[in-house]
Amino acid sequence: MFDPKANVSVTEDGNRLYARARQENIETVWERHQAQQPQCGFCDMGLSCRICIMGPCRIDPFGEGPQTGVCGADADIVVARNLCRMIAAGAASHSDHGRDLVEVLAKVARGQAPGYKIRDEAKLKRLAAEYGVAVEGKEVLQIAGALADAMMEDYGMRRKAVQLVDRAPKKRRELWEKVGITPRGIDRETSEMMHRTHMGVDNGWVSLLLQGMRNALSDGWGGSMIATEVSDILFGVPTPRATQVNAGVLKADQVNIAVHGHNPVVSEMISKACMSKELLDLAKQKGAQGINLVGLCCTGNEVLMRRGIAMAGNHLMTELILTTGAVDMMIVDYQCIMPSLAKVAACYHTKMISTSDKAHFPGMEHHEFHPHNAEEKAMAVVRAAVENFSKRRDVYIPGKPQAAVGGFSVEAILGALGGTAAPLLDAVKAGRIRGAVGIVGCNNPKIQHDQNHRVLTRRLIENDILVVDTGCVAVANAKAGFKVPEAAELAGPGLKAICQALKIPPVLHMGSCVDNVRILVLLSALADALGVDISDLPVAGSAPEWYSEKAVTIGVYFVASGVTTHLGPMPPIAGSMNVVNLLTQGLNDVVGATFAVEPDPEKAALFIRRHIEAKRKALGLDAREVM
């Protein structure tokens, strides 16, 4: 566990703001984590069960106390059920976010969403073709309406499989059919997962975990994929653009508004309002030089990817950023928003605004955004932020912003390669690039903030492994300076030469956490080009500092898609060696990939490098020995 006497963060802005929080006696996630020690060992091992009220029950891991709960469930059943419920919650979160976007698309089609529009007609038509929606002779809005209807059917049970599963390589789809884990409907799989984990339903730990994989796949190739694709249709496909990151992006002489959460439906509208002449004039009248919109967490990644909006920080920075005293307003939607935020904000002048009908927070002002009123609401809240500027007191903005480049959608990556994956594959075949790793996920106060992300990423690129990242890792790596073309100097000679030729960084920012599906699409393109399955590719996934249920779901759909995935923190499964062995070994025979848990990022880098070299060897490519 992370030593609380050490610096809480590996970043300068994080440590300086944490010192300020301590000085001002503001409680943060680190103090609350400390106050929880020792955390429950039964829960940590997945051995406590609260599913029914014959319990709560605990299974004794030392074999001395009870070995079953009141209902008779043993350690394997309890651990598998708990993990599966985490998968269901993660899938529900991402996929419900996707549904919100489909609803906006449907409302745009009906003219009921002023301010939103179809920004990428070509992508709309490509998606329509995938869904079998006729486009000939139809108006754009008609196509949008028909596509939204078809996507909504993916959520139910009227299909044999969710539509975008067709994007996976044929071998992978055949394997899913054989194993019986092809996802049928997005809501259906989550609902079935909750049903199976009710007391007295599925008590086979293997069958539970197989449904867990099907549930996760319904998110990866369903709800999350829909979220990303519809966001691209409504707000544009990301292309590389320059931006800046860390707390230094706040401006002392401007109105600072931070957007936090996940869904671009809110943050895009806010970004538009921040550019309105009326509100910019008002800001001037109030003595501010402008309105500075900054991002936090994944909604920050969404607006960074498409607009180059600066990023103030990731998960563990969300409280600290308020201690600058420079944030005039924080606007949140949902997911990963600590309920403590309004308490921290109350120590300053910062206004906290919640916007989603499904996410309320103590101490925040609630202004509900819906497609029909979002434009108007965005203007109203940004106006309130401008009005709040004059109430600032003591402002402390540590450090200078770090430059970064974001916006590497699959379309942008293939574009940079000249339109096809061939140059990337040639480089892999020639061994100049050994392979690629998707580093994803969160921060966790059990680990020094951003430390594992930095170390792992650095070790991989210096060994000629291309890194793509999303979510909070993407922010960590941008702050570390890995996302400027000059960072090619940090890479091994093969990767360095390619990055320099293409003028790209060795670490490519692929977006928010729902955008992990961009990685699946890219891997499918690479596998198809080589005529192999995803599990044959010299690639891996990693979540070095994960904390959330969504991260569990992402890890499971990565593995079920054939990507061996490293986890930093141990998931709560240690109470069942059967579950541990299946997830870390047995799955290889089922889906051709497994999980590996390794808290030390140096050792994790070695594990990943060995895995990549083994995959190269199996493909008949040159393989290095990793010492």
Name the residues that contact ligand BF8, by CB under 6 A: 262, 297-298, 314-315, 336, 441-442, 471-472, 512-513, 548, 550-551
Q: How far apart are CA 458 and CA 613, in angstroms?
A: 18
Q: How far apart are CA 553 and CA 544, in angstroms?
A: 15
Query: Nearer Cβ to ligand BF8, position 312 or 472?
Result: 472
Find all residues with CB under 8 Å of 418, minimum gap 6, and list them. none
Q: How far apart are CA 311 and CA 321, in angstroms?
A: 11
**Which of helix, strand or coil describes residue 45?**
coil
CB 532 within 8 A of CB 232: no
Write the CA distances from 4 to 40, 444, 473, 517, integer angstroms. Answer: 19, 13, 22, 35
Query: Nearer Cβ to ligand BF8, position 189 or 469?
Result: 469
- How many other CB atoms are found less than 10 A from the CB of residue 428? 26
CB burial string 386-400: b at 16+ within 10 A, e below: bbbbeebeeeebbbe
Q: How far is the CB of 334 from ligand BF8 (least distance, A)?
A: 10
- β-sheet bridge partners, residue 58: 48
Q: Radius of gyration (Cα) for the chain, nearest Å?
A: 24
Q: How far is the CB of 513 from ligand BF8 (least distance, A)?
A: 3
User: How many residues belong to the chain?
Assistant: 627
Q: How far apart are CA 406 and CA 240, in angstroms?
A: 5
Question: Which residue from 425, 297, 369, 443 is spatially nearest to 113, judged by alpha carbons?
Answer: 369
Query: Nearer Cβ to ligand BF8, position 210 or 552?
Result: 552
Query: Nearer Cβ to ligand BF8, position 109 or 216?
Result: 216
Q: How far is the CB of 540 from ligand BF8 (least distance, A)?
A: 18
Q: How far apart are CA 355 and CA 385, in angstroms?
A: 15
Q: How far apart are CA 50 and CA 67, in angstroms?
A: 16
Query: Nearer Cβ to ligand BF8, position 29 or 327?
Result: 29
- HEC per residue, 550-588: HHHHHHHHHHHCCCCEEECCCCCCCCCHHHHHHHHHHHH
Query: Nearer Cβ to ligand BF8, position 474 or 491?
Result: 474
Q: How far is the CB of 553 from ligand BF8 (least distance, A)?
A: 10
Q: How far apart are CA 627 and CA 621, in angstroms?
A: 19
Q: How far apart are CA 472 and CA 545, in angstroms?
A: 9
Query: Nearer Cβ to ligand BF8, position 73 or 336?
Result: 336
Query: Nearer Cβ to ligand BF8, position 336 or 385?
Result: 336
Write the CA distances from 220 to 35, 394, 517, integer angstroms. Answer: 36, 45, 6
Query: Nearer Cβ to ligand BF8, position 297 or 583?
Result: 297
Q: How far is the CB of 136 from ligand BF8 (least distance, A)?
A: 38
Query: Nearer Cβ to ligand BF8, position 306 or 609?
Result: 306
Q: How far is the CB of 442 from ligand BF8 (least distance, A)?
A: 3
Query: Nearer Cβ to ligand BF8, position 47 or 567?
Result: 567
- How many other CB atoms are found less than 10 A from the CB of residue 15? 17
Q: How far apart are CA 253 and CA 484, in angstroms?
A: 27
The Cβ-side half-sphere exposure at 567, using a 13 Å CA radius, reads 24
Residue 101: which H helix or E strand, with range?
Answer: helix 75-109
Q: Structure tokens of 375?
A: 């434009």
Q: How far is the CB of 459 from ligand BF8 (least distance, A)?
A: 21
- β-sheet bridge partners, residue 438: 468, 541
Q: How far apart are CA 414 and CA 618, in angstroms?
A: 26
Query: Nearer Cβ to ligand BF8, position 205 or 595?
Result: 595
Q: Are strands 329-332 and 351-354 parallel, antiparallel or unpaired?
A: parallel
Query: Nearer Cβ to ligand BF8, position 193 or 332?
Result: 332
Q: Cα 424 to chain center, whole Å?
A: 25
Q: How far is the CB of 278 from ligand BF8 (least distance, A)?
A: 32
Query: Nearer Cβ to ligand BF8, position 105 or 298?
Result: 298
Residue 597: which H helix or E strand, with range?
Answer: strand 595-597
Q: How far apart are CA 412 and CA 268, in angstroms?
A: 20
Query: Nearer Cβ to ligand BF8, position 402 or 548?
Result: 548
Looking up tokens 């998707």, which residue turns up? Answer: 438
Q: How far apart are CA 292 and CA 401, in angstroms?
A: 14
